[in-house]
Amino acid sequence: MSNNRNQQTKTTARVRSLSMAALALACAFAVTNAAAQVTPPPTPTDIAVPEGNSPYLVGHAYGSQGYTCLPTSTGGTAWNPSARPEATLFVDFFGHQVQIITHFQSINENPKPGIVPPLSGNATWQSSFDSSRVWAVKVKGIDAGSDPASCSHTGSIQCLLLQSVGNKKGPTGGNLLFNASFVQRLNTNGGAVPTSVCTAGQTQLVPYTADYFFFRADN
């Protein structure tokens, strides 16, 4: 009886694992073929993507912005960003949240011509499906709460326009992010500088959510 129960448990786990794998594959196919359905909200000119680029991918991010308490010139202390945000991006696929991209900071391994990668690294997005990457830098930003359509949550981190400074295919030639030219961070909620009094050396991670829209050149 015990052996039968163990076998049934293993079979159920295997079926569930295969089902999740099939779901992930189906989602990957849908993600790579959903460009026509990606419609960012209208944005102010400061963070608008230049003409000649079209949105093809969007992910809803759950992440955190790190802050470190440092001494100030006046003898006090203040919170300062200690690193770029880190986040995981998801899409809703028939009621299931499926991870599509991770967002972190890393060394630009394939910079565009004329780009000298900083030793501290660039903001990075890596596909969870094919490991392709895009590295990008901030072009401009607007304060949260300054635009009701694209950046309405007052007191959150900025909404941004970022431009690619490097792209890389995945190890097997995957190119989900290889052609990404611009990234917009919109609809930010949370992640702003803490307002609490702090002690030098103290650190804090502030959670945030946002929508990341990826664009590629039309040619």
In this predicted model, what pLDDT tens digit does every residue of 35-49 receive, in sequence order?
A: 558 999 999 999 999
- Residue 10's pLDDT band (cuts 50, 70, 90): low
- Tens of pLDDT, residue by residue over 105-121, are 999 999 999 999 999 99
**Neighbour count for residue 177 (Cβ, 10 Å):** 27
**pLDDT of 44:** 98
pTM of the model: 0.85
66: phi then psi, degrees, rounded to nearest 5:
-90, 145
**pLDDT of 219:** 82
Q: Taking phi first (over 0 means left), then psi (-120 to 50 degrees means alpha), and beta for anything else, what does residue 50 get?
A: beta
Q: What are the structure tokens assigned to 181, written together? A: 């030219």
Indicate the residue type of 116: V
